[in-house]
């Protein structure tokens, strides 16, 4: 089935009407190849403070970076968070072109469950008999522009390694840069300048680290 933007906006309106003001539905247009302004339609944008014309999410970057669009599967029921700390239950739907070899649109649903989680914790506190572990992976943050997105990805790469960039050895920096490359960070304009400066390496060294990872993948 071929989905047009008109049909997707109709679905977005229906979902947000069905589930109310806590349900944001956003459509990214990947056919335009305008990564910094990928959002072409959004309902209940107050949830993530985004609007039409804003930039991509992490999942959009990963999609653009993935060269095998046919292998991408919808990602359902995962946690994200807004810039102001609201916890969201999100689902991402990849809308393929007619041939199935490219992604035309991404339709994402972000449902604010912060209030529900507060109630859930209160109930668990009453009925649980064992202490609960707080050692959980932090949800990805939803941002409004590519600058904030790049900052968020760099922060995630540092958290993955577990130490500040200044204390990382070469292997750890290579691993952090591999994470950024896999996430599509280098699709962002002038990202190489910012990343090389952050990790205290030259741009030549940065791209040699990317090349090292590419050779590992090819092998």
Encode pLDDT of 141-160 as tens digits. Answer: 787 788 888 988 998 999 88
pLDDT interval class at 219 (50, 70, 90): very low
Alpha-carbon distance of 72 to 161, in angstroms, equals 27
Where are the strands (E) in the chain, listed by range?
Answer: 23-29, 39-43, 75-81, 87-96, 103-112, 140-141
What would you report as the CA-atom Rg of the chain, rounded to the nearest whole angstrom?
Answer: 19
Alpha-carbon distance of 25 to 12, in angstroms, equals 6
Report which DSSP code applies to 138. P
* Confidence (pLDDT) at 97: 87
SS3 97: coil
How do residues 94-123 score in pLDDT, each as one tens digit? 999 888 888 999 999 999 999 888 887 778
Enumerate the β-bridge partners of residue 25.
43, 109
Q: Classify burial at 207, counting beta carbons within 10 Å of its beta carbon; exposed 0-12, middle 13-18, buried 19 or more.
A: middle
pLDDT interval class at 211 (50, 70, 90): confident
**φ/ψ (deg, to 5) at 198:** -60, -40
pLDDT interval class at 133 (50, 70, 90): very low
Q: Write down the pTM of the prediction.
A: 0.70
DSSP letters of 2-64?
PPPHHHHHHHHHHHHHHH-TTEEEEEEESSS--GGG-EEEEESGGGTT--TT----HHHHHHH
129/35: higher pLDDT = 35
Q: Whole-angstrom distance between the N-terminal and C-terminal Cα of the chain?
A: 38
How do residues 37-95 score in pLDDT, each as one tens digit? 999 999 999 999 999 999 888 888 888 888 788 888 899 999 998 888 889 999 999 99
Residue 4's nearest CA partner among 29, 21, 25 is: 29
Residue 93's nearest CA partner among 167, 181, 12 is: 12
């Amino acid at each position: 089935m071929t989905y047009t933007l008109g049909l997707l906006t109709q679905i977005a309106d229906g979902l947000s009407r069905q589930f109310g003001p806590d349900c944001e539905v956003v459509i990214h247009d990947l056919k335009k190849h305008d990564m910094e302004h990928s959002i072409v339609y959004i309902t209940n944008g107050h949830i993530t403070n985004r609007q039409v014309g804003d930039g991509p999410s992490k999942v959009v970057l990963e999609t653009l970076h993935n060269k095998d669009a046919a292998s991408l599967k919808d990602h359902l029921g995962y946690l994200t968070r807004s810039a102001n700390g609201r916890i969201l239950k999100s689902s991402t739907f990849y809308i393929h072109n007619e041939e199935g070899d490219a992604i035309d649109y991404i339709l994402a649903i972000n449902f604010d469950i912060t209030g529900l989680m507060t109630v859930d914790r209160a109930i668990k506190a009453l009925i649980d008999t064992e202490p609960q572990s707080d050692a959980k992976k932090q949800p990805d943050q939803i941002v409004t522009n590519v600058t904030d997105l790049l900052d968020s990805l760099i922060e995630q790469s540092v958290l993955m390694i577990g130490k500040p960039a200044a204390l990382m050895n070469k292997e750890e920096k290579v691993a952090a840069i591999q994470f950024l490359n896999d996430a599509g960070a280098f699709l962002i304009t002038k990202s190489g300048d910012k990343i090389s400066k952050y990790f205290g390496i030259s741009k030549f060294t940065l791209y040699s680290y990317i090349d090292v990872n590419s050779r590992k993948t090819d092998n």
